[in-house]
A and B are shown apart, each in its own frame.
Chain A
């Protein structure tokens, strides 16, 4: 089955769990900017958590489904309609063949995820279907454009039998609903940051102590704003410039997603999914892994404040999140069988 792109939206890309293992060749991981949104969307349609889905940025696409499809929307709040009917999020939704889904703007958040049961069946490139927009790598090495067709596996009929019965119910064809959604859903409160003023947690980096006293105080305390030129490579933090006590000449090293680099201009950059694999700027902080997705949901112009934490707290939260996701996965699998 195919999904046809009638209009691509602002920046819609194919993303999965990413492309680890190639950083020594300069190839970044890419993958979803909000990995939890990807994983839950996939869970809701019975896919492997890291299966390829669509990452929608700020303004959504218009898509036509050539065949029946079981889909789920997670991540940012996004306006989505099928004809007159709004598409509910954070739950499985069955879409009838021939339907168009029109995604609009995002009242909250910056990146929504649309998963399709069976998954997007593009070939793997270096072990992943993700689009690395900046490096031009992936089976679909660019954002979606109008008239693109995305090959997808046929929707498995062994899940959400109740929804299929709604769509297949006898009756006048024109009166039949175009979509059917479960009454249950995953509570986004646990997975999406509705309090956009909540601080993003970060650990002091190797060169934090090299910042001057004011800059150290500003990094953990001042308000920064997400720069308009932020993208999947990195998030530019506009606001009070940060300065080092003395000029540092550093030798390039490997870096990581979440690393907060400080280029000479004094505007920190948080490296994101498509960030470079190596860098030579001072590393003043690192956003903790459980907050990568929360930062990715901030929109250009939104305020970011950092709260300092430590490695132990960061890893404890990470391990707890993984346990919570494993519990959610069990719950969702059970519900899918009986929906």
Chain B
């Protein structure tokens, strides 16, 4: 594995850059690296944040041998070594012991199904984006629900997933005038991405539907319903099913 580019994000974080593109293969490498680094439990590391094409690592400078270049190089080497660890270190190893798991030891193996009531009051922008795509609404919904998606990263707000895999025909520009309140559960499209608003938030993406599922609940043992790197599918439900599931 060739050495990764390291940016120092101030004095408490570093950024490993894998590429400068948004593509599933790069993102896959990021999540593999994140899993290995979490498992390696390198002393002093406080956060591991996977994104599209980079991994951000927060650390405690007091855990370094000192303030010099050599001490930082040592940390970068420990991180690189953990990431480069061969496949033998994958699931089933001692560090995967359930007792040692933290909230962020995500289970990404299972595909998760997100139930969505498309259009109507839950998807006020569906007609506009379908027209933009040159599709009727039902064809647009079918295309959105047919694809397999991958969670590239969580960010913007707790539990907000940025999903890769949107059918290029469904790409749609963000709204010229962002909304100050997008309801919780809104499924939306912003450019080449699709995502889900975990709570009421301001937002500029086109809203095509809503899920009754709670994407984020800080009181659950695993607060975020969807983990970085996980596979996601959407399934259309009607308003009655939405109402039943919301109760």
Q: Which residue of A lies closest to B55 (CB)?
A: A254
Q: Is A6 on the interface with B (CB-CB < 8 A)?
A: no
Tell me the B48-63 residues at the A interface (CB within 8 Å): 48-56, 58, 61-62
- Once the chains bind, are B46 and A318 in contact (CB under 8 Å)? no
Quick check: is B218 within 8 A (CB to CB) of the other chain? yes
Interface residues contributed by chain A, number (CB under 8 Å): 46
Is A167 located at the chain interface by the 8 A CB criterion? Answer: no
Q: How far is the CB of B32 from chain A (nearest CB, A)?
A: 14
Cβ distance B49 to chain A, nearest Cβ, rounded Å? 3
Q: A23-B48, A253-B15, A254-B50 known; 8 other A-B pairs, CB under 8 Å?
A: A24-B48, A24-B50, A26-B154, A135-B158, A203-B10, A252-B153, A289-B12, A315-B61
Q: Tell me whether B22 and A27 are in contact (CB under 8 A).
A: no
State how many angstroms separate the Cβ of A219 from the closest Cβ of chain B. Answer: 15
A-B complex: 6 closest residue pairs judged by Cβ atoms? A254-B56, A286-B10, A278-B155, A254-B49, A315-B67, A314-B11
Q: Which residues of A contact B199 (CB under 8 A)?
A: 136
Complex: A278 Cα to B154 Cα, angstroms: 8
The smallest C-beta distance from B236 to any residue of chain A, in angstroms, reads 26
Interface residue? B142 (CB, 8 A):
no
**Structural contact, B153 and A25, CB atoms closer than 8 A:** no
When chains A and B are docked, how far (Å) is the Cα of A115 from the Cα of B241?
Answer: 50
Residues of A within 8 A of B (CB): 20-29, 125-126, 135-138, 203, 205-206, 251-259, 276-279, 283, 286-289, 311-316, 318-319, 322
Residues of A within 8 A of B47 (CB): 20-21, 23-24, 29, 254
Q: Which of B13, B54, B102, B158 makes the CB contact (< 8 A) with A26?
A: B158
Known A-B contacts A254-B56, A256-B10; A312 and B157 likewise in contact (beta carbons under 8 Å)? no
Closest Cβ of chain A to B161, distance in Å, is 9
B residues less than 8 Å from A319 (CB atoms): 61-62, 64, 66-67
Docked Cα-Cα span, A26 to B157, in Å, equals 6
* Bound CA span A243–B80, Å: 35
* A20 x B58 contact (CB < 8 A): yes
Is B69 part of the contact surface with A, judged by Cβ < 8 Å?
Answer: yes
Q: How many whole Å from B156's CB to the nearest CB in chain A? A: 6
Bound-complex Cα distance A276 to B158 (A): 9
Task: Find out whether the CB atom of B62 lies under 8 angstroms from the CB atom of A27.
Answer: no
Q: Is the CB of A26 within 8 A of B160?
A: yes
B222 CB, nearest partner CB in chain A, Å: 9
Cβ of B156 and Cβ of A278 under 8 Å apart? yes
**Residues A251 and B155 in contact, CB atoms below 8 Å apart:** no
Cβ-neighbour of A126 out of B8, B103, B157 (below 8 A): B103
Give the docked Cα–Cα distance between A311 and B68 (Å): 8
Contact yes or no, B156 A21, CB < 8 A: no
Enumerate chain A residues within 8 angstroms of B22, measured Cβ to Cβ.
251
Kindly report which residue of chain B lies nearest to residue A279, judged by CB atoms.
B155
What is the bound-complex CA distance between A27 and B227, given in angstroms? 13
Given contacts A26-B158, A319-B66, contact A21 B46 (CB under 8 A): yes
Whether, in the assembled complex, B219 has its beta carbon less than 8 Å from a beta carbon of chain A, the answer is yes
B11 partner, pick from A21, A253, A279, A318, beta carbons under 8 A: A318
Q: CA A255 – CA B7 in complex, angstroms? A: 11
Question: Residue B185 at the A interface, CB < 8 A?
Answer: no
- For residue B165, CB closer than 8 A to chain A, the reply is no
Q: Is B9 an interface residue (CB 8 A)?
A: yes
Residues of chain B within 8 A (CB-CB) of A205 are 9-10
What is the CA–CA distance of A153 and B221 in the complex, to the nearest angstrom? 26
When the two chains form their complex, are residues A252 and B61 in contact, meaning their CB atoms are under 8 A apart? no
Q: Contacts of A26 on B, CB cut-off 8 Å?
A: 154-160, 216, 224
Report 25 cross-chain contacts, Cβ distance below 8 Å, ordered by A residue: A22-B104, A23-B47, A23-B49, A24-B34, A24-B154, A25-B103, A25-B158, A25-B216, A25-B224, A126-B103, A138-B218, A251-B54, A252-B51, A253-B54, A254-B15, A254-B54, A254-B55, A255-B9, A255-B13, A256-B12, A257-B12, A278-B155, A311-B8, A311-B11, A315-B11
- Name the CB-closest residue of A to B12: A289
Chain B residues with CB below 8 A from A313, complex form: 67
- Which B residue's beta carbon lies closest to that of A28? B158
A21 to B58, CA, bound (A): 9
A313 to B160, CA, bound (A): 36
Q: A137 and B10 in contact (CB under 8 A), knowing A315-B67, A316-B67?
A: no
- Give Cα A132 to B8, complex, Å: 26
Decide if A286 touches B155 in the complex (CB within 8 Å).
no
Q: Does B235 have its Cβ within 8 Å of any Cβ on chain A?
A: no
Question: Which among B9, B49, B55 is the interface contact of A259 at CB below 8 angstroms?
Answer: B9
Q: Name the residue on B nearest A287 (C-beta).
A: B10
Q: Please, which residues of chain B bring their CB within 8 A of the CB of A286?
A: 9-11
Q: Is the CB of B11 within 8 A of A288?
A: yes
Please, how many angstroms separate the alpha-carbon atoms of A125 and B72 in the complex? 33
* Contact bitstring B1-24, A, C-beta under 8 A = 1, else 0: 000000111111101010011100
